[in-house]
């Protein structure tokens, strides 16, 4: 007969653990996490248990088991390496109608300890016919699926509320954070950017409303005001809204504007940072934005307007004088003017530059040139947005790595 699984709420209830070895060491922390008042009976204990005892979290009777130890216990764990002792503990517990788990004999045990895991408020418990290794493997698979959102675990009774601003990372769907993927799986409405990891949208349940908030360069675009209104409107309807963005919401993602709009409307907002493409895309092309002895700083710059545009707030002369790495976003269409400004204000024309299109995606490709030639090279190669431009000697570090790899090939 299979076991009847039940979640015990042990807060404030006495649990007896007989034995102070490795099995007890594994089980006591989980009992404490459940709020149990744990008493250990054993002549000796492991150092880990000794720490819990010294901290006052566990009561310890430093002696062998005695009849009567089960009095007042709601649950008993027989964890010694002596079969006769475990049998005696189980017999006393059975006589007093207290559930007892035997670590040494699953068939003689009145109860089994499942392999457990927890993701937010979801608890997973697995018994596999008393096979602990198999149970742990199944537990790990289920917990992993809950963490990355591949299991549909949307709440029905206690749904999340408000808006979550989720950074989707640089493009590869595997680079969204675990928390971001969890919230995406809970969403009633998803408002997605053009640069958000689109592959994840195929995993949404059929009843999830998907709003395309793409801003296509020089093409159609949903205004920022309209996007903010959508977030507030759907949240006011009691729906949980995920605003899925590329990169990080607060790195040229206008997340601050959306957060303010929600705050003004009284809508709670949760921010989930994402991996910014300013760092991830150069890394995916083998270029570190900092490197010992080469660059101690890096600057992330939006080039949505050219250096000579009155709307630009970038101190381009300071960027030219800097020895740090420059990471330019939205720069492809204005690359010639950027290179001209940097050279005019002091950057060496031979400064290496790498331009990476579709970073972290299967279609990723890169062009390497000097500051004086990069605009022509990018144009000839047909590089189009989205692309990241890296200016600085760290580009040579990436080239050096590639040379070393090439030399080691058979």
- Tokens, residue 392: 């600085």
Q: Is 215 a catalytic residue?
A: yes
Q: Is 308 a catalytic residue?
A: no
In angstroms, the CA 368 to CA 356 distance is 9
Catalytic residue among 82, 215, 233, 393: 215
Element of type H or E holding 272: strand 269-272
- Tokens, residue 113: 């300890």
Q: Decide if 9 contacts 70 (C-beta within 8 A).
A: no
Sheet holding 209-212, edge to edge: 209-212, 189-192, 241-245, 163-167, 269-272
Listed in sequence order, the DSSP H helices in 301-334 are: 316-321
Least Cα distance to 166 among 175, 158, 152, 177 occurs for: 177
How many other CB atoms sit within 10 Å of the CB of residue 403?
Answer: 10
């404030």: which residue's tokens? 12
């420059």: which residue's tokens? 326
Catalytic residue among 172, 193, 248, 358: 193
Nearest 5°: phi and psi at 184?
A: -60, -35
Instruction: Please count the residues of the chain.
Output: 410
Q: Decide if 10 contacts 76 (C-beta within 8 A).
A: no
Radius of gyration of the chain (CA): 30
Listed in sequence order, the DSSP H helices in 34-101 are: 47-54, 83-95
Catalytic residues: 193, 215
């Amino acid at each position: 007969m299979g076991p009847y699984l039940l979640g015990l709420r042990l807060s404030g209830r006495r649990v007896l653990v007989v034995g102070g070895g490795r099995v007890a060491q594994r089980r006591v922390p989980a009992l404490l996490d459940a709020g149990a008042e744990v008493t250990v009976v054993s002549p000796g204990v492991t150092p880990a248990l000794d720490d819990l005892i010294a901290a006052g979290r566990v009561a310890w009777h430093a002696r062998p088991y005695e009849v009567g130890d089960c009095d007042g216990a709601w649950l008993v764990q027989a964890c010694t390496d002596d079969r006769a002792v475990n049998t005696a503990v189980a017999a006393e517990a059975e006589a007093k109608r207290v559930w007892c788990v035997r670590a040494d004999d699953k068939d003689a045990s009145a109860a089994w300890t499942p392999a457990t895991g927890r993701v937010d408020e979801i608890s997973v418990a697995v018994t596999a016919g008393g096979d602990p290794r198999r149970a742990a493997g199944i537990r790990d698979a289920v917990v992993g699926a809950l963490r990355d959102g591949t299991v549909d675990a949307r709440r029905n009774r206690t749904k999340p509320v408000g808006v979550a601003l989720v950074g989707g990372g640089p493009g590869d769907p595997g680079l969204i954070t675990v928390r971001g993927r969890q919230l995406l799986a809970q969403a009633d409405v998803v408002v997605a950017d053009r640069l958000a990891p689109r592959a994840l949208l195929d995993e949404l349940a059929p009843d999830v409303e998907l709003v395309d908030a793409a801003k296509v360069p020089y093409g159609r675009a949903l205004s920022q005001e309209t996007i903010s209104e959508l977030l507030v409107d759907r949240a006011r309807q009691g729906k949980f809204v995920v605003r899925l963005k590329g990169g990080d919401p607060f790195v040229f993602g206008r997340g601050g504007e959306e957060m303010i709009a929600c705050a003004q409307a009284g809508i709670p907002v949760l921010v989930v940072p994402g991996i910014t493409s300013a760092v991830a895309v150069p890394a995916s092309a083998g270029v570190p934005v900092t490197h010992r002895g080469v660059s101690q700083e890096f600057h992330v710059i939006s080039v949505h307007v050219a250096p000579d545009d009155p709307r630009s707030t970038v101190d381009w002369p300071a960027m030219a004088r800097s020895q740090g790495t420059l990471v330019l976003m939205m720069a492809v269409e204005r690359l010639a003017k950027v290179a001209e400004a940097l050279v005019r204000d002091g950057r060496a024309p031979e400064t290496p530059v790498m331009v990476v299109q579709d970073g972290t995606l299967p279609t990723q490709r890169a062009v390497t040139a000097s500051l004086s030639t990069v605009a022509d090279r990018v144009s000839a190669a047909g590089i189009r947005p989205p692309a990241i431009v890296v200016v600085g000697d760290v580009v040579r570090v990436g080239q050096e790595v590639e040379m070393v790899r090439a030399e080691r090939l058979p």
